[in-house]
Amino acid sequence: MASEPDVRWAFPSVSPNGRWIAATRWTHGGNHDDVILDRSGAVVHEVTADRALDLALDWSPNGRYLVWGSDRSGIPNILSAPVDPETGVAGTPLMLSNVRTGAIYPSVDPDGL
């Protein structure tokens, strides 16, 4: 994958099956979006594409969900989206927390609890 001068990457997280890499992509203009890449580094799906600060991705133990922190409501909270393990395509994000003081760095229990 060729590097792009105005793109920065952070918070990479490899799926449990090793097929996908979820990462935060920072682009010119202040966009911080979550994407899913294949092993070669090609973007296969944009999980988010908006002005919210989306970061710190983690996979569920079965690789069927991504969780991350986002300030899309004005207060940082935790979101999740289902992911098709065969295609790497994520579904619609769902807010998992609604903490008035904020929550930003999720960590999924390895046992799936």
- The reply to whether 38 falls in a domain is yes
Walk across the sheet containing 77-82 and list its strands.
Answer: 54-59, 65-70, 77-82, 94-95
- The reply to whether 106 falls in a domain is no
Residue 87: both structure tokens together: 């295609």
In this prediction, residue 112 carries a pLDDT of 66
Q: Are 56 and 68 in contact (CB under 8 A)?
A: yes
| Domain range for 90 | 7-95
- The reply to whether 100 falls in a domain is no
Q: How many domains does the chain have?
A: 1
- The reply to whether 22 falls in a domain is yes
Q: Are 90 and 45 in contact (CB under 8 A)?
A: yes
In this prediction, residue 29 carries a pLDDT of 81
- The reply to whether 90 falls in a domain is yes
Instruction: Report the length, in residues, of the chain.
Output: 113
- The reply to whether 44 falls in a domain is yes
In this prediction, residue 28 carries a pLDDT of 83
Per-residue pLDDT tens digits of the chain, which is 113 residues long: 556 778 999 999 999 999 999 999 998 888 889 999 999 999 999 999 988 889 899 999 999 999 999 999 899 999 999 999 999 999 999 999 999 888 988 888 888 65
Provide the residue type at 49 as one letter. A
